[in-house]
Structure 1
Amino acid sequence: MSIAEERIERLHELAREAATEDEYDRAREYVRLARRLAERNRCGLPKSFQRSTCDACDVYLRPGRNARVRVHRGRVVVRCLECGATERYPFE
């Protein structure tokens, strides 16, 4: 595991903790930093990180607080309540 990947994991943990404390602006900043770091070092973000953040507004998603999660026709549908963006993932 490279240094960049370790840093991305740490930023994911910090974003989760900040969102748990209802500090969404701080969590959003951690998400942005992690995405920039992944782009610069040409390493992908972990799937768990991608699916717990909104691509449109970079907020850390917490189901029931700022995200709505539904299962519909074999897909998981996640809607961000901050910006209204919708993501669909195959049901695994």
Structure 2
Amino acid sequence: MSIPAERIERLTDLAHAAAKADRMDRARRYVRLARRIAERNRLSLPTRLDRFTCDACDAYLIPGRNARVRTQSGHVVLTCSCGAQKRYPY
């Protein structure tokens, strides 16, 4: 695994831990750093980071705390507290 990929994985873990501890500002910073590293090195984000972050406000989404999860005609719909939605097939 390359150094940028390892750094992105570490930032993903840190963002998850910060969001669990209600440090949303710190989790948002980790998400932004991970996205910048991925863009700079032309890497894709891990699925865990890609699916559980808001594209609009960079928040790390935790269902029930700052995100709402619903199913709708074969899709999972994640709604952030800012109002942005993400859809994934299941």
Q: TM-score range by the shorter chain?
A: over 0.9
Instruction: Give the Cα–Cα distance (whole angstroms) in 1 for the partners of residues 8 and 48 of structure 2.
Output: 12
Q: Offset of 1:76 from its aligned partner?
A: 0.2
Aligned residue in 1 for 2:53: 53
Once the 2 structures are TM-superposed, how far is the Cα of residue 47 of structure 1 from its aligned partner? Answer: 1.3
Question: What SS does the aligned partner of 2:79 have?
Answer: strand
| 5+ long unaligned stretches in structure 2 | none
TM-score of the two chains, using structure 2 as the length reference: 0.98
TM-score normalised to structure 1 length: 0.96
Residue in 1 that maps onto 2:65 = 65
2:74 maps to 74
Runs of 4+ deviating beyond 4 Å: none
Residue 15 of structure 1: how far off its partner (Å): 0.2
Counterparts of 1:14-53 in structure 2 under 5 Å? 14-53=14-53
Trace 1:2-13 onto structure 2 (pairs within 5 A): 2-13=2-13
Cα deviation digits, residues 13-39 of structure 1 (max 9, x gap): 000000000000000000000000000
Secondary structure of the equivalent of 2:53? coil
How much identity, in percent, do the aligned residues show? 66
Deviations 1:36-80 (A, max 9, x none): 000000011011110010011000000000000011100000000
What is the alpha-carbon distance in structure 2 between the residues aligned to residue 53 and residue 75 of structure 1? Answer: 17
How many residues of Structure 1 are paired with residues of Structure 2 in the alignment?
90
* Letter of the 1:90 counterpart: P
